[in-house]
Amino acid sequence: MSLDDPEEVRPFEGDSGRLELVNVAAGGVGRATFNPGWRWSQHVAPIAGTDSCEAAHMGYVISGRITVRMDDGEEETYGPGDFMIAPPGHDAWVLGEEPCVVIDWQGFADYAKQ
């Protein structure tokens, strides 16, 4: 089993990235590639049908930078080598011109699922 040969690929709206998913005994593990300009509220909210992301994330940033803003306004930016923990109730967006690649082993099982 490998994220280079995923069991499922879920594209985001507007060709803004994709989620590659494998299923392990403990649940889904995903690798998301968020292209420059990607924003959850624009490119995943139409798929999720919610005002903010309701998935809890526990992940590791491989490359690029991403900012997560909680519904209460608290904000954190993550970059290469950072562990990312984001509870439900947030928006997120890519910073800069480099795609952001994140491995997540908690919140991607139902993420961007039609």
Largest Cα–Cα separation, the chain: 38
The answer, yes or no, to whether residue 73 has pLDDT greater than 90, is: yes
Pick the range with the lowest mean pLDDT from 17-21, 77-81, 110-114. 110-114
pLDDT tens, position by position, 43-59: 999 988 999 999 999 99
Under a CB-based contact definition with an 8 Å cutoff, are residues 67 and 76 in contact?
Answer: yes
Residue 105 · residue 56 · CB < 8 Å: no
Q: Cα 6 to chain center, whole Å? A: 16
pLDDT-derived band at 109, boundaries 50, 70, 90:
low
pTM: 0.89
Given 1.10.1740.10, 3.20.20.70, 3.30.450.20, 2.60.120.10, which CATH number is that of 8-104? 2.60.120.10
- CB atoms inside a 10 Å sphere around CB 96: 11
Residues 6+ apart with CB under 8 A from 5: none
